[in-house]
Amino acid sequence: MAAPRSFALWGYCDRGWSRLMPGCRLPGFRSCWPGCPLGARLLSQEKRATETHFGFETVSEEEKGGKVYQVFESVAKKYDVMNDMMSLGIHRIWKDLLLWKMRPFPGTQLLDVAGGTGLAWVLGDAEELPFDEDKFDVYTIAFGIRNVTHIDRALQEAHRVLKPGGRFLCLEFSQVNNPLVSRLYDLYSFQVIPVLGEVIAGDWKSYQYLVESIRQFPPQEEFKEMIEDAGFQKVTYESLTSGIVAIHSGFKL
């Protein structure tokens, strides 16, 4: 789930959901283009540094969190029904596989970001978690990290709050690796899913954003490298259902 400003909800030691929003960063510069005023150069760099994507639309970082929040506010009441309809129930198998990989045991300190239900809830920012470092045994996030504005910052925070030996697990839509399945998947995604969203949830635009945001997310190998750049080791991934989704795993060692 996503929300405006820098707020997020988590459930830890059980399941939770997050509200995510970007921070800001100051752009740097090296030199001015020949014949270009320094002020124009800075403004140009600042514009690029604060733009991001919302599906296929280019928006400012300040806008994105609010837009994603509106999407999930709109679809919340029909969220589970739509997940079953869109995936024919297969999303439940994907989530079961994530839990099987995690193999939690009594006493496991689990932080679940962007879940859906939970017992212990915390409001905060996925890019600046309100927890001490070396606190959790497992960090999980399912179908949520692609909504974060700065994925690299969220990954760094996941690494920070995990204990040495702790594990990062992410279930997310990914890149289909079969050309025929890819064409059929694109047809289904862009022609069927928004229609289902309109019929079942009364919301075409939110589900149009869903399919667009999936195409903007990095493919398996690229996301693996991002996880490694955040400090995780022994990073692996498993593609499921021809790569429609993938489970990425990494350890803080």
Instruction: Write down the pTM of the prediction.
Output: 0.74
Q: How far apart are CA 232 and CA 209, in angstroms?
A: 30
Binding-site residue numbers for S-adenosyl-L-methionine are 117, 125-126
Q: How far apart are CA 206 and CA 185, in angstroms?
A: 18
The radius of gyration of the chain from alpha carbons, rounded to an integer in Å, stands at 19
Q: Residue 136: inside a domain, yes or no? A: yes
Q: How far apart are CA 5 and CA 62, in angstroms?
A: 8
pLDDT in tens, 211-235: 999 999 999 999 999 999 999 999 9
Q: How far apart are CA 147 and CA 20, in angstroms?
A: 7
Task: Tell me the Ramachandran region of residue 74: left when phi exceeds 0, alpha when psi lies from -120 to 50, beta otherwise.
Answer: alpha
Q: Residue 13: inside a domain, yes or no? A: no
* CA–CA–CA angle 99, 3, 172 (5° rounding): 30
Binding-site residue numbers are 117, 125-126
Q: Residue 178 belongs to a domain with what CATH number?
A: 3.40.50.150
| Average pLDDT of the segment spanning 184-197 | 93
Q: Residue 77: inside a domain, yes or no? A: yes
Q: How far apart are CA 18 and CA 108, in angstroms?
A: 20
For residue 32, the one-letter residue type is C
| pLDDT on residue 80 | 81
Residue 9 near residue 1 (C-beta atoms within 8 A): yes
Q: By percentage, how much of the chain surpasses pLDDT 70?
A: 70
Question: Which domain covers residue 162, as residue numbers?
Answer: 53-252
Q: How far apart are CA 62 and CA 4, in angstroms?
A: 8
What pLDDT band is residue 60 in, cutting at 50, 70 and 90? confident
> What's the domain count of the chain?
1
Q: Residue 184: inside a domain, yes or no? A: yes
Identify the top-confidence range among 46-60, 123-137, 235-249: 235-249
Q: How far apart are CA 66 and CA 80, in angstroms?
A: 22
Q: Residue 27: inside a domain, yes or no? A: no
Higher pLDDT, 58 or 38: 58
What is the sign of the dihedral through the CA atoms of 5, 226, 54 and 97? negative
| pLDDT on residue 155 | 98
pLDDT in tens, 65-79: 666 666 666 566 777
Statement: residue 243 has pLDDT above 60: yes
Residue 124 near residue 10 (C-beta atoms within 8 A): yes
Comparing C-alpha atoms, which of 2, 7, 223 is closest to residue 123? 7
Q: Residue 160: inside a domain, yes or no? A: yes
Q: Which two tokens stand for residue 21?
A: 């929003």
What pLDDT band is residue 83 in, cutting at 50, 70 and 90? confident
Query: Would you tell me how many other CB atoms lie within 10 Å of the CB of residue 98?
Result: 19
Q: Residue 18: inside a domain, yes or no? A: no
Q: Residue 22: inside a domain, yes or no? A: no
How many residues are present in the chain? 253
Q: Which DSSP symbol is given to 244?
A: T
